[in-house]
Amino acid sequence: MSRLDDYYRSRSLWLDGVPGSLEPRPALPGDTDVDVAIVGGGYTGLWTAYYLAAADPSLRIAVLEREIAGFGASGRNGAWCSWAFAATYEQMARHAGREAAVAMQHEMFDTVDEVGRVAAAEGIDCGFTKGGCLMAATIPAHAASLKKEAEWYSSWGFGEHFRWLEKDAADEHIRVAGGLGALYTTECAAVDPARLARGLADAVERRGAVVYERTPVQSFEPGAAGAPGVVRTARGTVRAPVIVLATEGYTVGAPGHRRDLLPMYSLMVATEPLPDDVWAEIGWSSRETFSDGRHLLIYASRTPDGRIALGGRGAPYHFGSAIDDRFEHEPEVFDALGRLIGEVFPPARDARITHRWGGPIGIPRDWYTGVTFDRAAGFGWAGGYVGDGVATTNLAGRTLRDLILQRETDILRLPWVQHRSRRWEPEPFRWAAVNLATRMMAAADDEERRTGAPSHKHELLMRLIGR
């Protein structure tokens, strides 16, 4: 394997396991004209290219990716292809009414299945398994808050999708140390993220679009007064009447978009494949995705080859929304995540940690994901998924297709369409507020572990950030 192949494989367990070569596809060969130029070859860019090419095979579509397709969060994530959409129902209802919030959730349920359908239809071998999601309570405070969450889902009409399971029923899914019960939903699948991204890039190319890798975009200008937009790369200039920006956590590097999204690093670790006797003790036979009731989120999955992959927040936010390979490695956070595997799943306590990695997620100022299209300028954008982009990006791709092709479809009435968050505050306010919020969540978790009772710090924090 070449140096580049090694470099890309080192970015996550999932990229490491992609069969075949990760040698980059050819870069942009020089100046070119296309109908749609897409900046970024993660799920957002690829799903948009996929659905556009499927809808109109005559379109000339170019995906311009700085590294390789799936290099970013799409090749590194926690494997949850889930019902979750970053804005709360209350936020969406305030913005567009209760019915719109409910419609959005139903569309997200369908979107999980749509990812599975396309993966099957395109022969994308990403291990899509819809085993649901278990959010376990291990202290009374978590049981209280997860039961409350079940009631909240019920009050929005989703009671049949989200159920509180008492301890014995929860243990039938996954046995955790000190388990007291769990909130369970069927509306989640586990995927191999990098195989999904790489397989999708192949499907995009089979449909006639071109994915240019190792092609960093330096600047772009959407069109004006009937003139096409321009995307500049070191390899040549692309002229296109439609430009889509799909760079999520890396958007801070796009001129004019520095404060649109705040990049937060989410970090993960994975164990070696665990022996059958360990799995017999833990259960986890349906590949449910897993979380628990703590405020500083953790998320986990059982991989197809029998590892536990577990991630969490807690890495610091870096001044000026800086992005750097070094921030993907925080030894203290990795150690804490490794310890957590043993604490939550004691039979796995001696397992070796074989992979440690991370990547940036994109957080909008109001924690409300958006998909927008400016027809006059021919400029499309989708992002701000926080940590919920695996399924939502698919809906973004279909929505951008309909906006760009001027179709009149029901999904264009969903409350995130044309939603624009305000920009983040300049530094040093961003840095101070975000790191304080992370510390407050960790402190709320400590307090709940010590007292067993719900902490009010989290509520206060949610009020402070306006959710």
Ligand X SMILES: Cc1cc2nc3c(=O)[nH]c(=O)nc-3n(C[C@H](O)[C@H](O)[C@H](O)COP(=O)(O)OP(=O)(O)OC[C@H]3O[C@@H](n4cnc5c(N)ncnc54)[C@H](O)[C@@H]3O)c2cc1C
Q: Give contact residues for ligand X (rule: CB under 6 A).
A: 39-45, 64-67, 71-74, 76-80, 82, 216-217, 246-250, 253, 266, 268, 299, 311, 358-359, 361, 383, 385, 387-391, 393
Report the nearest approach of ligand X to the CB of residue 167 (Å): 26
Q: Which of 310, 315, 291, 322 is nearest to 348 (CA)?
A: 310
Q: Which helix (H) or strand (E) holds 269?
A: strand 261-271
Q: Which is nearer to ligand X, 46 or 274 (CB)?
A: 46
Nearer to ligand X, 216 or 236 (CB): 216
Using DSSP's 3-state secondary structure scheme, residue 62 falls into: strand
Q: Which is nearer to ligand X, 180 or 296 (CB)?
A: 296
d(CA 233, CA 225): 23
Report the C-alpha gap between 322 and 340 in whole angstroms.
28
Q: In this complex, which beta carbon is closest to ligand X, that of residue 66 or of residue 458?
A: 66
450 CB contacts (<8 Å, ≥6 apart)? none
How far apart are alpha carbons 447 and 220 in whole angstroms? 48
For residue 163, list its beta bridge partners.
184
Nearer to ligand X, 48 or 455 (CB): 48
C-beta of 13: minimal distance to ligand X in Å?
11
- Cβ–Cβ under 8 Å, residues 48 and 396: yes
Closest residue by beta carbon to ligand X: 389
What is the Cα–Cα distance from 43 to 69, expressed in whole angstroms? 9
User: How many whole angstroms separate alpha carbon 104 and alpha carbon 425?
Assistant: 29
CA–CA distance, 464 with 433 (Å, rounded to integer): 10
- If one counts every other C-beta atom within 10 angstroms of the C-beta of residue 408, the result is 7
* Pairing of the two strands 181-185 and 133-137: antiparallel
CB of 332 to ligand X, least distance (A): 16
Spatial distance between the Cα atoms of 27 and 76, rounded to a whole number of angstroms: 23
Residue closest to 155 by CA, chosen among 107, 84, 88: 88
CB of 280 to ligand X, least distance (A): 26
Decide whether 330 or 447 has the Cβ nearer to ligand X: 330
Instruction: Provide, rounded to whole angstroms, the least separation between the CB of residue 276 and ligand X.
Output: 26
Give residue 115's identity as a one-letter amino acid code. Answer: V
CB of 37 to ligand X, least distance (A): 11
- Whichever of 179 and 359 has its CB closer to ligand X, that residue is 359
What is the CA 301 to chain-centroid distance, rounded?
14
Nearest to ligand X of 393, 399 (CB atom): 393
Is 112 within 8 Å of 130 (Cβ atoms)? yes
CB 95 → ligand X: shortest distance, Å? 21
The residues, ordered by sequence, that sit 6+ positions from 389 with a Cβ below 8 Å of its Cβ are 43, 44, 73, 74, 77, 248, 361, 383
Residue with smaller CB distance to ligand X, 48 or 145: 48
The least CB distance from residue 3 to ligand X, in Å, is 18
Give whichever of 64 and 146 is closer to ligand X, judged by the CB atom: 64
Find the shortest distance in angstroms from Cβ 162 to ligand X.
17
DSSP-derived secondary structure for 287-315: --EEEES-SS-EEEEE-TTS-EEEEE--P
Smallest gap from residue 58 Cβ to ligand X (A):
25
**Residue placing its CB nearer to ligand X in the complex, 180 or 391:** 391
C-alpha to C-alpha distances, 104 to 76, 325, 388, 414, nearest whole angstrom: 26, 35, 14, 6
Provide the β-strand partners of residue 311: 268, 299
- What is the closest distance, in whole angstroms, from the C-beta atom of residue 193 to ligand X in the complex? 7
Phi, psi at 158, each rounded to 5°: -110, 25
